[in-house]
């Protein structure tokens, strides 16, 4: 059960409306996605829509209205339908939605096309997802145009704005309840990663480890995985988004697992890399500990006021130095960084926002284009990696085929940071002990 209640959603709507002088906001639910022919993927609500009202059904709309005198919230939902209840499950319907959600009005979604013009009348600003091409948003645009062209209508929509930027800026700072949901997701993800370490053995397939992790997720009540799991043995780890998970795990190889679950739609995002046979080789340990040292240094630097751009630059300096120390790169660090030589082995960013989306689409820069400073309540992943392809003959043979990433979820606090996933083992000694347990 979600820790969020109607007060949380109402306060979020009030905060959003407080950023407007006046206008109408329209948010649409996610559309069901076809998997093949007439089958669909499990439904997942649009994160911005869910953030503002907590309603999980498809074919629904949230409309917020603000004038100088008042504001109100309107929910459009599918009515209860016995045939739909028989085949796909029961919907709340208009009456029960009005009882369950702290909105001012609830209407049948099929009346939206009749009511939207009246809702837009006398307003000068419309706030929508400008890239949403759903029929509901197109209908709003059409109604705004018709009002603009109607004689005698003195006040009409003069401008359309992107509401997603306002919502996603608000989503940057997580509440205590949101952090608790993320922690729950991480707790289950920890169990799954530890399970994978404990059962890994030679001759298993990557998908077998994935299946055991999925069992941990689903048997503990998670609704979904946060993203498609990566279980990459050996050289597969050097393909950053290797999701086939079909190969056999071999003696002497590492396996990189990037997999995590959601809890009440809030994501976790964890990567661990460990030896298939439970024991790091000397070369594997050397690379692993360099990556871990970089991650620990980056995490230690996170606190309010630090800019994410600086953190990225710092991480590249540390990773470049690690590659020099390992003998994989040679030369002056400054010159190597200017030439982006380190990018061959450390190609991706140091981390990303995380929340209702595993890659939370919150802004990284302010309205002037300057990198945002960390503030208490932000959650970001930290995931340095070094990837050395098996066919890279410029590197010592002992390092070829090694791909390592270590990823944790970090909360910025008032005084520094909290590693929300610190319970998941990651030192060489801890991992080898977990593999033997």
Domain chopping of the chain, boundaries: 6-171, 176-436
The kind and range of the H/E element at 159 are strand 159-162
Structure tokens at 47: 């994160």
Superfamily of domain 6-171: Creatinase/prolidase N-terminal domain (3.40.350.10)
Mean pLDDT for the chain overall: 95
pLDDT for 410 beyond 70:
yes
pLDDT at site 90: 93
Going by the DSSP 8-state scheme, the letter that residue 111 receives in this structure is G
pLDDT for 328 beyond 80:
yes
pLDDT at site 437: 87
Average pLDDT value for residue range 345-371: 95
Q: Do residues 292 and 272 touch, judged by C-beta distance below 8 A? A: no
Residue 367 pLDDT class (50, 70, 90 cuts): confident
pLDDT at site 283: 98
Alpha-carbon gap, residue 387 to 404, rounded angstroms: 6
Q: Which residue has the higher pLDDT, 110 or 2?
A: 110
Average pLDDT value for residue range 349-360: 98
Average pLDDT value for residue range 283-288: 98
Cross-strand partners of 274: 255
Query: Which residues carry out catalysis?
Result: 38, 241, 258, 269, 348, 352, 359, 383, 387, 405, 407
Q: Do residues 379 and 182 touch, judged by C-beta distance below 8 A? A: yes
Residue 367, number of CB atoms within 10 A of its CB: 8
pLDDT for 223 beyond 90:
no
* C-alpha closest to that of 26 among 99, 100, 129, 121: 129
Q: Which residues contact 334 (CB under 8 A, 6 or more apart)?
A: none
For the segment 136-151, what is each residue's pLDDT rounded down to a tens digit? 999 999 999 988 888 7
pLDDT at site 154: 75
pLDDT for 95 beyond 80:
yes
Average pLDDT value for residue range 423-433: 98
* C-alpha closest to that of 231 among 220, 214, 243: 243
- Spell out the CATH class of 176-436: alpha beta
Average pLDDT value for residue range 202-228: 95
Alpha-carbon gap, residue 274 to 288, rounded angstroms: 9
Average pLDDT value for residue range 68-77: 95
Q: Which residue has the higher pLDDT, 155 or 355?
A: 355
- Residue 163 burial by CB count (10 A; 0-12/13-18/19+): exposed, middle or buried? buried
Average pLDDT value for residue range 389-416: 97
Alpha-carbon gap, residue 212 to 268, rounded angstroms: 18
pLDDT at site 163: 97
- In percent, the amount of the chain with pLDDT more than 90 equals 92
pLDDT for 153 beyond 80:
no
pLDDT at site 1: 63
Average pLDDT value for residue range 258-268: 97
6-171 against 176-436: fold identical: no
Residue 325, number of CB atoms within 10 A of its CB: 12
pLDDT at site 71: 95
Average pLDDT value for residue range 304-316: 97
pLDDT for 329 beyond 90:
yes
Q: Do residues 266 and 224 touch, judged by C-beta distance below 8 A? A: no
Q: Which residues contact 370 (CB under 8 A, 6 or more apart)?
A: none
Q: Which residue has the tokens 């945002």?
A: 372
């Amino acid at each position: 059960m979600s820790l969020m209640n109607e007060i949380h959603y109402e306060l979020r709507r009030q905060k959003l409306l407080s950023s407007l002088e006046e206008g109408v906001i329209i948010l649409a639910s996610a559309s069901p996605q076809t998997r093949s022919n007439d089958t669909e993927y499990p439904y997942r609500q649009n994160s911005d829509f869910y953030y503002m009202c907590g309603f999980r059904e498809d074919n629904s709309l949230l409309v917020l209205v603000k004038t100088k005198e008042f504001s109100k919230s309107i929910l459009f939902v599918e009515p209860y339908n016995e045939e739909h209840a028989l085949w796909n499950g029961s919907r709340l319907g208009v009456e029960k939605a009005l009882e369950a959600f702290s909105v001012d009005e609830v209407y049948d979604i099929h009346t939206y096309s009749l009511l939207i013009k009246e809702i837009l009348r006398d307003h000068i600003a419309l706030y929508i997802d400008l890239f949403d091409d759903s029929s509901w948003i197109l209908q709003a645009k059409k109604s705004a145009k018709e009002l603009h062209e109607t004689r005698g209508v003195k006040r009409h929509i003069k401008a359309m704005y992107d509401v997603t930027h306002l919502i996603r800026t608000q989503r940057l700072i997580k509440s205590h309840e949101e952090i608790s949901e993320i922690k729950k997701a991480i707790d289950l993800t920890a169990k799954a990663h530890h399970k994978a370490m404990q059962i890994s053995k030679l001759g298993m397939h990557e998908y077998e480890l994935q299946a055991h992790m999925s069992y941990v997720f689903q048997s503990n009540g998670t609704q979904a995985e946060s993203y498609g799991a990566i279980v990459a043995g050996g050289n597969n780890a050097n393909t950053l988004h290797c999701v086939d998970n079909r190969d056999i795990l071999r003696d002497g190889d590492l396996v990189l697992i990037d997999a995590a679950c959601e809890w009440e739609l809030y994501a976790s995002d964890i990567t661990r890399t460990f030896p298939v046979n439970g024991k790091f080789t000397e070369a594997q340990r050397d690379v692993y500990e360099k990556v871990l040292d970089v991650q620990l240094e980056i995490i230690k630097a996170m606190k309010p006021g630090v800019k994410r751009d600086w953190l990225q630059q710092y991480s590249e300096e540390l990773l470049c130095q690690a590659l020099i120390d390992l003998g994989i790169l040679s030369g002056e660090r400054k010159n190597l960084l200017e030439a982006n030589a380190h990018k061959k082995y450390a190609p991706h960013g140091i981390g990303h926002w995380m929340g209702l989306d595993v890659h939370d689409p919150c802004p990284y820069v302010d309205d002037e284009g300057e990198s945002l400073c960390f503030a208490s309540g932000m959650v970001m992943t930290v995931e340095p990696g070094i990837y050395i392809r098996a066919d890279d003959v410029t590197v010592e043979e002992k390092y070829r085929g090694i791909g390592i990433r270590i990823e944790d979820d970090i909360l910025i606090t008032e005084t520094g940071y909290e590693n929300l996933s610190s319970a998941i083992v990651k030192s060489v000694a801890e991992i080898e002990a977990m593999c033997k347990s």
